[in-house]
RNA sequence: GGGGCGGUAGUUCAACUGGUUAGAGCACUGGCCUGUCACGCCAGAAGUUGCGGGUUCGAAUCCCGUCCGCCCCGCCA
């Protein structure tokens, strides 16, 4: 490489005196020593300019033969990302040469001595605000990508948030306690990452999906306020907001009800957002019930800055002659509408595009729509199936007027809501139907404890340890589906930052719940025996929460993907393209673990 | 597991319906240049068109398979 042809210098005793970004008018006349990476180089033959970059900023250093022949000569070799140390005098730039686009653009460093500390191969993409490169290239060359300002900023937000939340929790009396990374495999929930035990051939540890069980055991142990910034692992498919390994700010507290936990959450969230990004959140946080969120927004983590709302019309179609919708209602489905007023901006071809989008991406059966023209006429493929009375009812409920465009979904509730919720967000953002606030935080409360899966079996909505509301405990035996849980979410800008609940501290209630979920006594003992046993050792009432720390950074840093707020993220297929993990291992290593690999047979 | 979009030089992209030697910007290399700041000018090098197979006189282009990246459903809380 270039380094073979370039003689590199040692630092010697020369040390940095200023960060590049610190150099300003007040330094004029001073001798300074700056160090960093050659961001850009402009060689005019006689005079050479280098924009020198360190973590704190950028400053122009100048090499002139009349200042130092030797430094000027060596500066001719400098290329992008070379590492240099330069001693020189800060000079004010003349009025014509001031660069207003640069924070340090009023000054420059006239270099007397240059030490080339390292050369570098050329970066595969420019180290700029916008990478302008495909994400796989960025991930493969993560070291260069991490030099870019957006990632530098995101990791700084991450650090600040971590510090602010630790400080907040510490001031509220929480104690940081670490829990094991080598834990026990669990049959419930997500797939575990397994770690083979050398000393116990055939047995495995599991990396924790969360410290959930362990923090409950700490409550039983008498640590009344626990917290931890914990790494969690789930071997499930990736999304923009889901990585295989991620970080939770995990906390748990004893002798509290929902209100005390929410108060801690509110303070911790406020302190975190303020400390990490200077964001001031309202006090108290608004609250919304799960059913209201689903009803109005079709989503349990609504971004309430978007002004569009859904309208339920299920009852209107239960007796309708419009068979497509009535049939859905007869089978227990719902019909909901997303009214968009003053929708002239949405063309017919845009509607077609939306329809094909919801069909392809979201599995919709179709997209019903009605446009009310300026002359009041209804233009729609479905209007011919509707009676006068139905039209009047639809118009009244959707507050339709000339210029309105109504979108319909008739399907099982989850799907209809998911589709309209997505349309609401897309159209709301595209049409600018937003209230103008930068930050939108709310608590979503009153989740049900159970739901039916597609086989009709009762399953838990969140996790099996969520405590029911005290007054609903009798319903566990008689009408479990009506039991309300003590679960709550914190939602910010349409992203679920985290969730928590009160937990079952009484073994008998925990057993009742597991029984309702269809566990036999044996299965209960096998899967949750140690937990049930622990609850009989003097478990205090307790509850807690876990923030999705990475998601919180993502929201505060304005990033679209977790990969932009994690230093070394994995791809959607779970690979680290820089370190090339996962990788096969040597047979020796496997032998020691008593493991033989049996690869799936190719077709 | 399923659906969608994409994969051409280091990189970002182009190459009409299959048709000569696959082009351009940036980056890179060499040269020139004393006030640039996305410096400029001149010259140059750079390609297994992701991979494998097929159709064809002829494939970056059409077909099949496969790998990789991203988005989504399932999955995950």
On the question of pLDDT at A315 being above 60, the answer is yes
Asked if A244 and A570 touch (Cβ cutoff 8 Å), the reply is: yes
Q: Is the CB of A129 under 7 A from strand B?
A: no
- Tell me if A227 sits within 8 A of A251, measured CB to CB: yes
E strand map for A220-297: 225-233, 245-254, 287-289
Q: Packing angle between helix A549-557 and helix A149-171, nearest 10 degrees?
A: 130
Q: Quote the tokens at residue A272.
A: 């975190």
Chain A residues 365-394, Cβ below 7 A from strand B: none
C-alpha A551/C-alpha A280 separation (Å) is 18
pLDDT tens per residue, range A366-375:
899 999 999 9
Among A565, A546, A568, residue whose Cα is nearest residue A160? A565
Query: Domain for residue A143, yes or no?
Result: no
Residues A420 and A447 in one domain: no
Cβ atoms within 10 A of the Cβ of A316, count? 20
The CATH number of the domain holding residue A207 is 3.30.930.10
Domain end, chosen from A118, A139, A173, is at A118
Q: Name the nearest CA neighbour of A290 among A302, A279, A281.
A: A302
Q: Over the stretch A34-72, which tens digit does the pLDDT of each residue have?
A: 999 999 999 999 999 999 999 999 999 999 999 999 999
CA distance A548 to A277: 17
pLDDT value at position A1? 39
Residues A379 and A417 in one domain: yes
Do A39 and A166 fall within a single domain? Answer: no
- Same domain membership, residue A404 and residue A487: no
Both A402 and A276 in a single domain?
A: no
The Å distance, CA of A61 to C1' of B13, is 34
- E-only strand ranges, A158-271: 175-176, 194-196, 204-206, 225-233, 245-254
3-state secondary structure (DSSP) of residue A460: strand
Whether the pLDDT of residue A246 is over 50: the answer is yes
A24/A106 same-domain check? yes
Please compute the mean of the pLDDT values over residues A140-163 and round it to a whole number.
Answer: 96
* Nearest nt to the A128 alpha carbon by C1': B38
Confirm whether A532 is domain-assigned: yes
- Nucleic strand B near CB of residue A189 (< 7 Å): yes
pTM across the whole model: 0.94
Protein-proximal nucleotides of chain B (any atom < 7 Å from a CB): 1, 3-4, 10-13, 26-29, 32-40, 66, 68-77
Per-residue pLDDT of A379-420, as tens digits, reads: 999 999 999 999 999 999 999 999 999 999 999 999 999 999
- Residues A460-479, buried b or exposed e (16+ Cβ, 10 A)? beebbbbbbeeebeebbeee
Over residues A100-125, mean pLDDT: 96
Q: Which two tokens stand for residue A25?
A: 């008018």
Q: Considering the domain boundaries, does residue A130 fall inside one?
A: no
Confidence of residue A602 (pLDDT cuts 50, 70, 90): low
Assess whether A155 and A282 both reside in one domain: yes
CATH number at residue A351: 3.30.1360.30
The separation, in Å, between residue A110 CA and nucleotide B34 C1' comes to 14
Name the nucleotide with the smallest C1'–CA separation from A560: B71
Structure token digits, residue A386: 């509707």
pLDDT at A603: 43
Give chain A's mean pLDDT: 93
- The tally of domains found in chain A comes to 3
Q: Is A324 a member of any domain? A: yes
Q: Is residue A31 one of the residues assigned to a domain?
A: yes
Do A385 and A357 reside in the same domain of the chain?
A: yes
Question: A187 or A299: whose pLDDT is higher?
Answer: A299
Q: Is the pLDDT of residue A109 over 70?
A: yes
Per-residue pLDDT tens digits for A483-528: 999 999 999 999 999 999 999 999 999 999 999 888 999 999 988 8
For residues A515 and A545, state if they share a domain: yes
- A454 falls within a domain: yes
Q: What is the pLDDT of residue A179?
A: 97
Q: With 90 as the cut, is the pLDDT of residue A3 above it?
A: no
Find the CATH number of the domain harbouring A29.
2.40.50.140
Query: For A25, what's the count of Cα atoms within 13 Å in the CB-facing half-sphere?
Result: 3
Among protein residues, the one whose C-alpha sits closest to the C1' atom of B74 is A237
The rounded distance, in Å, linking the Cα atoms of A503 and A464 is 9
A25-34, A450-459, A471-480, A493-502: range with lowest mean pLDDT:
A450-459
Tokens of A291: 């059913």
The answer to whether residues A554 and A462 belong to one domain is: yes
Please state whether strand B lies within 7 Å of residue A357 at its CB atom: no
Query: A84-94, pLDDT tens digit by residue?
Result: 999 999 999 99
Of the residues A434, A459, A490, the one at which a domain ends = A434
Which nucleotide is the nearest neighbour of A235, by CA and C1'?
A: B76
**A166 is a domain residue:** yes
Is the minimum distance from the CB of A579 to strand B below 7 Å? no
Check whether residue A160 has its CB closer than 7 Å to nucleic acid strand B. Answer: no
Q: Tell me: do A428 and A455 sit in the same domain.
A: no
For residue A360, the enclosing domain spans 306-434
Which nt sits closest to A80, CA to C1'? B27
Nucleotide B42 C1' to residue A81 CA (A): 26
pLDDT of A6: 77
- pLDDT at position A5: 61
Distance A514 CA to B29 C1' (A): 71
Higher pLDDT, A416 or A362: A416
Residue A238 CB in 7 A reach of strand B: yes
pLDDT, tens digit, 9 for 90 and up, residues A434-458: 999 999 999 999 999 998 877 778 8
Q: Nearest nt (C1') to A46 (CA)? A: B34
pLDDT for res A454: 72
The residue whose CA lies nearest the C1' of nucleotide B6 is A134
Q: Are residues A197 and A68 in the same domain?
A: no
Give the model's pLDDT for residue A601: 63
Q: Is the CB of A458 under 7 A from strand B?
A: no
- Rounded CA gap, A283 and A276, in Å? 18
A582 Cβ nearer than 7 Å to chain B strand: no
Cα separation, A64 vs A43, whole angstroms? 11
A95 CA to B42 C1' distance (Å): 32
Nucleotide nearest to A418 (CA to C1'): B73
């Amino acid at each position: 490489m270039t380094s073979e042809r370039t003689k590199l210098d040692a630092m010697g005793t020369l040390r940095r005196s200023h960060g590049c970004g610190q150099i300003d008018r007040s330094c004029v006349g001073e001798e300074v020593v700056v160090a960093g990476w050659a961001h850009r180089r402009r060689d005019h033959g006689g005079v050479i300019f280098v924009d020198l970059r360190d973590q704190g900023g950028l400053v122009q250093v100048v090499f002139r033969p009349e200042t130092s022949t030797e430094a000027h000569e060596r500066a001719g070799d400098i290329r992008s990302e070379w590492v240099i140390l330069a001693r020189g005098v800060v000079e004010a730039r003349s009025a014509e040469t001031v660069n207003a686009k640069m924070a340090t653009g009023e000054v420059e460093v006239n270099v007397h001595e240059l030490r080339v500390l390292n050369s570098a191969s050329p970066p595969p993409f420019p180290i700029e605000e916008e990478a302008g490169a495909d994400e796989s290239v960025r991930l493969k060359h993560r070291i260069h990508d991490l030099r870019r300002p957006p990632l530098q900023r995101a990791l700084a937000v991450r650090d600040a948030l971590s510090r602010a939340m630790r400080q907040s929790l510490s001031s509220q009396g929480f104690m940081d306690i670490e829990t094991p990374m080598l834990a026990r495999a669990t049959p419930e929930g997500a797939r575990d990452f397994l770690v083979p035990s050398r000393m116990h051939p055939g047995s495995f540890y599991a990396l924790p999906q969360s410290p959930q069980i362990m923090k409950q055991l700490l409550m039983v142990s008498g640590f009344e306020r626990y917290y931890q910034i914990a790494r969690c692992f789930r071997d499930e498919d990736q999304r923009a907001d889901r990585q295989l390994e991620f970080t939770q700010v995990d906390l748990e507290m004893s002798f509290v009800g929902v209100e005390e936990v929410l108060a801690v959450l509110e303070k911790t969230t406020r302190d975190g957002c303020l400390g990490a990004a200077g964001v001031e959140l309202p006090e108290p946080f608004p609250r919304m019930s799960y059913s209201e969120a689903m009803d109005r927004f079709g989503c349990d983590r609504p971004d309430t800055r978007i002004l569009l709302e859904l309208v339920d019309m299920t009852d209107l179609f239960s007796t309708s002659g419009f068979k497509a919708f009535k049939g859905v209602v007869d089978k227990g489905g719902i019909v909901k509408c997303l009214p968009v007023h003053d929708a002239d901006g949405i063309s017919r071809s845009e509607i077609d595009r939306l329809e094909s989008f919801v069909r392809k991406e979201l599995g919709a059966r179709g997209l019903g729509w009605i446009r009310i023209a300026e002359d009041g006429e209804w233009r729609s493929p479905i209007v011919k199936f509707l009676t006068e009375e139905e039209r009047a009812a639809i118009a009244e409920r959707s507050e339709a007027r000339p210029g309105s465009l109504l979108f319909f979904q008739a399907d099982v509730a989850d799907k209809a809501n998911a589709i309209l919720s997505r349309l609401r967000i897309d159209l709301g953002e595209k049409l600018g139907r937003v209230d103008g606030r930068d930050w939108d935080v709310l608590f979503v409360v009153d989740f049900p404890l159970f739901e039916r899966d597609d086989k009709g079996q009762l399953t838990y909505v969140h996790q099996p340890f969520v405590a029911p509301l005290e007054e609903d405990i009798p319903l566990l035996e008689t009408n479990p589906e009506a039991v309300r849980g003590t679960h709550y979410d914190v939602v910010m800008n349409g992203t679920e930052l985290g969730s928590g609940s009160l937990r079952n501290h009484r073994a008998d209630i925990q057993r009742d719940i597991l029984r309702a979920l269809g566990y036999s006594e044996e299965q209960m003992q096998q899967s949750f025996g140690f937990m049930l046993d622990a609850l009989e050792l003097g478990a205090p009432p307790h509850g807690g929460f876990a923030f999705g720390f990475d998601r919180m950074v993502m929201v505060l840093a304005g990033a679209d993907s977790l990969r932009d707020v994690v230093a070394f993220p994995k791809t959607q297929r779970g690979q680290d393209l820089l370190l090339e993990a996962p990788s096969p291992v040597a047979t020796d290593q496997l032998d020691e673990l008593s493991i033989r690999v049996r690869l799936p047979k190719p077709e």
